[in-house]
Amino acid sequence: FSQALAIRSYTKFVMGIAVSMLTYPFLLVGDLMAVNNCGLQAGLPPYSPVFKSWIHCWKYLSVQGQLFRGS
């Protein structure tokens, strides 16, 4: 009985990490698109490129190796 609880606890922990790793790039791209070309300096060149779409942003981050930055 206690072994089942331990397994359940570890599984919940590992799955939480796995889900975070899968969703983090979407959160990052969403945050970048929120400030993209909005008038704030942080969302304009030279601080950030202006992206045409979230897919353009995703591809740019992927090529730069930054898709998991800060995770």
Q: State percent of the chain over pLDDT 90.
A: 90
Q: What is the mean pLDDT of residues 6-24?
A: 95
The structure's pTM equals 0.81
Give the pLDDT confidence score for residue 70 in this predicted structure: 84
Residue-range domain boundaries for the chain:
24-71
What 3 state SS string does the chain have? CHHHHHHHHHHHHHHHHHHHHHHHHHHHHHHHHHHCCCCCHHHCCCCCCCCCCHHHHHHHHHHHCCCCCCC
Question: Quick one: pLDDT at residue 13?
Answer: 96
> What would the pLDDT profile of 35-60 be if each residue is shown by its tens digit?
999 999 999 999 999 999 999 999 99
What mean pLDDT do residues 22-41 have? 95
Contact by Cβ (8 Å): 32, 57: yes
